[in-house]
Structure formats: C-alpha cells, structure tokens
C-alpha cells in the first residue's frame, strides 16, 4: 500500500451536475447531464466526517432539489452560491429560501463578457446575467461577481474595472471601495501569453490609475483608497488537494473541482466517499501538499516583491496538473507577466503615495458625518 500523510480537509465541493445552459469558450468542464442523486447526498451528509460542503457545477441551479437539500443540511452554514446567473430569475424563490449570497460569473463589460460567455447557439449571455443581478437587487439578496481575463479581453480590462465600480457604487462609496478589493477579474492560466500581452496588462493598470485619480465625486482620500483596493485585490493559492476536495455524481473523490470535471477525470481519482479505506493516487494527493509547502520555489505569484501583490494572478495546482502532468508546473510567461505587472503596481503605489499597509487609505475616506465608517464592516 502506498504511504500517505494525514491531512485535515476543510471543504468538500459537491459537483451537483456537470451540465450548463451556456457553452463558454474557455470552460474546462466536460459538460454532461450528470446530476448528483439526492439519495447519495443524503447518505453522505448523514455520515458526517467533514467540516463544510459547497455546491458546485456545472450550473448548480440545474439540480435545485439537491441544491436545496445541501443548503438545509450542511453541517456549516453555506454563505454563497456560484452561478453563471442566467437561471437566477427563474429560481429566485429558491434562492430567497436558502438565504445565501449569489456570486455571478461575469467577465466585465458586455463586449468583454460576450466574447466568451455564450449560449451554445453563439448568443451572448450578458443581458440575461444582468437580469439575474437585477432579480437579486429587487429581492434584497447580496451579490458579487467573479470573472476571468483572456488574451481577447485583456485590452478591455480597465473598462471592466470601471464597469464593476459603476455596478457597486449604488451600495455607497465606502462599501463600493471595499467591494472592489474583493472582486477578481483573474488572468486565465491556459493562454499562451506573449510579451505584447505583458505590455497591454501594464498599460491597463496605468489607465486604471489615470481614471481613478480623476474620478469625479470622490475626495482625494477616497480616490487613493479606491486605487489601492483595485490594484491589490485579495487572492492566493487555491486549497484544492490540500484543505479542499471535490466529489462528483458517482461520489468519487478528486483533488479539486477542476480535475473532477475533465473528460479524463479517472486519471485523477482518489477514491469514493463510501469506501474510505480504498484510497488511490495517494502520491498525487501528497504532491498538492508538497507544492503548498514549496510554493515560493515554483511560482512568482507566491514569491512577490513589494508590499502589495496583485492577485489577478494566482497559482492553480489543477491547471498545472492538466497542462504538464504535475502540480508544480506554471508557465514561465505567466510568472513573468505577474512580475512585470507587480513592478508597475509598486510604481503606481509610490507615485500616488498610497498607504504602506492594506486599509491605511481607508482611515479618512468618510468625509460626511452621515456616512458612518461602520459601513466598512457591512
């Protein structure tokens, strides 16, 4: 039997289905109508032995019965649901019932979003996603967004940041500034990035700087806080294969949701939740932990210089595994792009005398007595 170490698993992603109403060009999911069975989920949740479960897909709203059961019976409250958004209006009563925040997959402006996030017939999904966001707004449901940046959409990155600012600004200036630090338009891993792309990425950050520092209706302190919030968004190393595992419709276990949705997923299978004594691929599992321990050796994104790294770049072990058959690989050009963009960010921080510590510019961004600083805790 293979030797293995014992690790604490904090979260299990339940792949409720691999099906999806969209056909996004960059999607890594091998889309199939493979819904997770309610009886299997009941058996699994009743068995315990885990800390937290998270409903995932595919599009989880395509399996509403199991989705509702998972939310109602999770041992730890589930705070959010990730969705492409097009089915939200149809399922708004269910969403209100389970009582969670909705995270929409949106790639920014309509032009950027509809380049990739399309229906199988080629129609863009932006208009329908906006209907989903409006449904949440009309029903008092908290929402956020998450999107990706590709070679085709990189030239529109600054416009997408402006788009997001306009989307969240009605929540209030202080809250909107904070939300810009949470939102992530993440640079996609799989592209063949070039030196030209690196120049474009840097220029996009300079355009963001120019726009923010001229944005009307904000004080200087608010502009500085907004700029720092945008260019130093939070992120990091995914917990896949370390503190997180994924389970598919057959209740088979995988290191993360990415490899659990591939057509060759059997290569990455670790076992089955109902057969805990029959683990396989233990060396693969342990490799995720070795990468986590030595992450700074393999990825510039984990070994940044300066006090404010930019997390539109991250380290994805699952992608590494798919591209190079090991968890340690990361594209040299991707690392170079991160390093060069991070250098530009340090210049922006120095040029505008932004706070040396995260949140330092938030101290004086509330200029009106009626705007309580407590809004930052919302």
Res 276 pLDDT > 50: yes
Res 40 pLDDT > 90: yes
**According to the model, what pLDDT value does residue 208 have?**
97
- Rounded (5°) CA angle 366-368-372: 60
Within a 10 A sphere around the Cβ of 100, how many other Cβ atoms?
Answer: 17
Name the pTM for this structure.
0.84
The token duo for 339 is 């390093």
- Among 354, 340, 355, 26, CA closest to 204: 340
Res 22 pLDDT > 90: yes
Let me know if residue 166 belongs to a domain.
no
- What whole-number distance in Å separates Cα of residue 115 and Cα of residue 306? 34
- Burial class for 161, CB neighbours closer than 10 Å (0-12, 13-18, 19+): buried
Length of the chain: 378
Q: What would the pLDDT profile of 43-70 be if each residue is shown by its tens digit?
A: 999 887 667 899 999 999 999 999 999 9
Of the listed ranges 101-110, 173-182, 220-229, 364-373, the least confidently predicted one is 364-373
Q: Who's near 156: CB < 8 A, 6+ residues apart?
A: 108, 109, 111, 112
Average pLDDT rounded to a whole number, residues 245-264: 87
Cis peptide before 58 (omega within 30 of 0): yes
Let me know if residue 252 belongs to a domain.
yes
Q: What would the pLDDT profile of 66-102 be if each residue is shown by its tens digit?
A: 999 999 998 888 999 999 999 999 999 999 999 999 9
Q: Which residues on neighbouring strands pair with residue 124, listed in sequence order?
A: 118
Provide the CA 138 distance to its chain's centre, in angstroms: 25
- Of the pLDDT bands very low, low, confident and very high (cuts 50, 70, 90), residue 3 is very low
The token duo for 174 is 């202080």
Q: Who's near 39: CB < 8 A, 6+ residues apart?
A: none
- Of the pLDDT bands very low, low, confident and very high (cuts 50, 70, 90), residue 266 is confident
Q: Are 87 and 48 in contact (CB under 8 A)?
A: no
**According to the model, what pLDDT value does residue 289 have?**
57
Domain range for 253: 1-158+236-331
- What whole-number distance in Å separates Cα of residue 142 and Cα of residue 103? 9
Res 305 pLDDT > 50: no
Q: Who's near 173: CB < 8 A, 6+ residues apart?
A: 218, 222, 365, 371
**According to the model, what pLDDT value does residue 365 have?**
60
Q: Number of folded domains in the chain?
A: 1
Sign of the dihedral through C-alpha 174, 349, 311, 191: positive
Let me know if residue 89 belongs to a domain.
yes
Average pLDDT rounded to a whole number, residues 203-212: 97
Let me know if residue 370 belongs to a domain.
no
- What whole-number distance in Å separates Cα of residue 328 and Cα of residue 172? 42
- What whole-number distance in Å separates Cα of residue 116 and Cα of residue 84? 12
Average pLDDT rounded to a whole number, residues 246-269: 86
- Of the pLDDT bands very low, low, confident and very high (cuts 50, 70, 90), residue 317 is low
Q: What would the pLDDT profile of 332-349 be if each residue is shown by its tens digit?
A: 787 788 888 888 988 999
**According to the model, what pLDDT value does residue 104 have?**
96
Res 251 pLDDT > 90: yes
Of the listed ranges 114-123, 221-230, 276-285, the least confidently predicted one is 276-285
Site of tokens 């979003």 = 113
- With H, G, I as helix, E, B as strand and everything else as coil, classify residue 211: helix
Let me know if residue 130 belongs to a domain.
yes
Q: Are 358 and 232 in contact (CB under 8 A)?
A: yes
Average pLDDT rounded to a whole number, residues 183-210: 90
Res 367 pLDDT > 50: no
- What whole-number distance in Å separates Cα of residue 175 and Cα of residue 18? 35
Instruction: Compute the mean pLDDT over every residue in the chain, rounded to the nearest whole number.
Output: 82
- Rounded (5°) CA angle 170-232-208: 65
- Measure Cα distances from 8 to 5, 34, 49, 119, 120 in Å: 10, 29, 11, 39, 40
Let me know if residue 5 belongs to a domain.
yes
- Measure Cα distances from 339 to 286, 302, 353 in Å: 28, 11, 21
Terminal CA-to-CA distance of the chain, rounded, Å? Answer: 51
Q: Are 217 and 198 in contact (CB under 8 A)?
A: no
Buried b (16+ CB within 10 A) or exposed e, 317-347: bbbbbbeeeebbbbbeebbebbbbbbebbbe
Average pLDDT rounded to a whole number, residues 233-238: 62
CATH code, domain carrying 45: 3.20.20.70
Let me know if residue 282 belongs to a domain.
yes
- What whole-number distance in Å separates Cα of residue 20 and Cα of residue 254? 20
Let me know if residue 32 belongs to a domain.
yes
- What whole-number distance in Å separates Cα of residue 32 and Cα of residue 47? 28
Q: What would the pLDDT profile of 318-337 be if each residue is shown by its tens digit?
A: 666 666 666 656 677 877 88
Of the listed ranges 121-135, 203-217, 288-302, 340-354, the least confidently predicted one is 288-302
Res 34 pLDDT > 50: yes
Q: What would the pLDDT profile of 150-185 be if each residue is shown by its tens digit?
A: 999 999 999 999 999 999 999 899 999 999 887 678
């Amino acid at each position: 039997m293979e030797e293995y170490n014992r690790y604490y698993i904090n979260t299990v992603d339940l792949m409720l289905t691999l099906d999806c109403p969209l056909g996004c060009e960059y999607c890594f999911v091998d889309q199939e109508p493979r819904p997770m069975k309610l009886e299997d989920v009941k058996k699994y949740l009743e068995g315990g032995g885990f800390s937290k479960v998270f409903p995932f897909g595919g599009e989880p709203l395509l399996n509403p019965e199991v989705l509702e059961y998972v939310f109602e019976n999770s041992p730890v409250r589930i705070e959010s649901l990730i969705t492409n958004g097009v089915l939200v209006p149809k399922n708004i009563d269910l969403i209100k019932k389970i009582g969670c925040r909705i995270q929409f997959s949106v790639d920014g402006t309509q032009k950027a979003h509809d380049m990739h996030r399309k229906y199988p017939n080629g129609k863009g999904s932006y208009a329908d996603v906006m209907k989903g966001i409006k449904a949440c707004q009309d029903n008092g449901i908290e929402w956020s967004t998450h999107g990706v940046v590709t070679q085709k959409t990189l030239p529109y990155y600054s416009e997408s940041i402006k788009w997001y600012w306009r989307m969240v600004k009605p929540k209030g200036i202080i809250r909107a500034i904070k939300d810009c630090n949470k939102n992530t338009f993440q640079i996609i891993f799989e592209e063949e990035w070039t030196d030209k792309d690196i120049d474009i990425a840097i220029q996009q950050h300079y355009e963001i700087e120019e726009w923010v520092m001229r944005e009307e209706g904000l004080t200087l302190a608010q502009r500085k806080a907004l700029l720092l919030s945008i260019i130093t968004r939070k992120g990091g190393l995914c917990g896949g294969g370390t503190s997180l595992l994924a389970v598919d419709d057959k209740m088979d276990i995988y290191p993360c949701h990415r490899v659990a949705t591939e057509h060759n997923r059997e290569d990455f299978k670790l076992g089955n939740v109902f057969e805990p004594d029959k683990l396989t691929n233990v060396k693969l599992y342990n490799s995720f932990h070795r990468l986590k321990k030595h992450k700074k050796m393999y990825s510039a994104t984990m070994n940044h210089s300066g006090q404010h790294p930019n997390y539109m770049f991250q380290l994805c072990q699952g992608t590494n595994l798919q591209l190079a058959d090991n968890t340690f690989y990361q594209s040299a050009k991707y690392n170079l792009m991160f390093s060069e963009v991070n250098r530009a960010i340090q210049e922006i921080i120095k040029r505008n005398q932004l706070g040396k510590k995260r949140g330092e510019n938030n101290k004086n961004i509330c200029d009106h007595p009626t705007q309580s600083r407590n809004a930052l805790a919302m």
